[in-house]
Structure 1
Amino acid sequence: MALKSTRYRKVEPAALNRRATPRHTMAISSASLKRNGNKSIPATLLDISIYGCRFEVDAVFKEGEKVTVTVDEHAPVIATMVWQKTKQVGCRFVDALDTAVLRSLTISG
């Protein structure tokens, strides 16, 4: 049952974004994820911030698993898998990403 004050007007969903820093949307297909000692797994970088990123990848990861993230010619970054839903995974960088690297990725993406 609707409240009297909202019965006749459309109520928009709440815009809840609890992130400390904004995520930058992109689609960079030259990314890869690497488990310890294994070969690189091709991935597409979907969004990124200085603290983490989201990929589309054809592989299964476990929560808490450590991976090495490589995008384009940038230096590899160590990250921890936080979640996976179908073909998308989210990871958090062990050390915050350098802002110059983030800037170059967002400009090229």
Structure 2
Amino acid sequence: MVTVTVTTKFHNPSLSRRKEWQRATRLYRDTKQFCINGWENGDFGKSVTTASIDNDLYSAIQNQAIREAKSDHNKHGEVRYRESQPFAINNQNWELDTTENGT
């Protein structure tokens, strides 16, 4: 199986697309904070799942937020926030179609 890396850029996104991106970024941040707060308060264990999260982000993005929150929150209860992109796009739930000439 061949792995292909694709880089995408938004060129002059519309106002609605920018608002959608900003909203998703806030939801992503809130999801990470929800996880960290839950661990700090003892509301749930480290095995939190997307079923515990009530927002409309795709589950793959919620899972990414959970993974990042776990790495930001260590076993001793210390929280170290890392700078990162709001969320990363990975191969989950994405499909890339190519034409016969490779575009």
TM (normalized to structure 2)?
A: 0.28
TM (normalized to structure 1)?
A: 0.27
User: Which one has the largest radius of gyration?
Assistant: 1
Greater strand percent: which structure?
Answer: 1
* Greater length-normalized contact order (CA 8 Å, ≥ 6 residues apart): 2
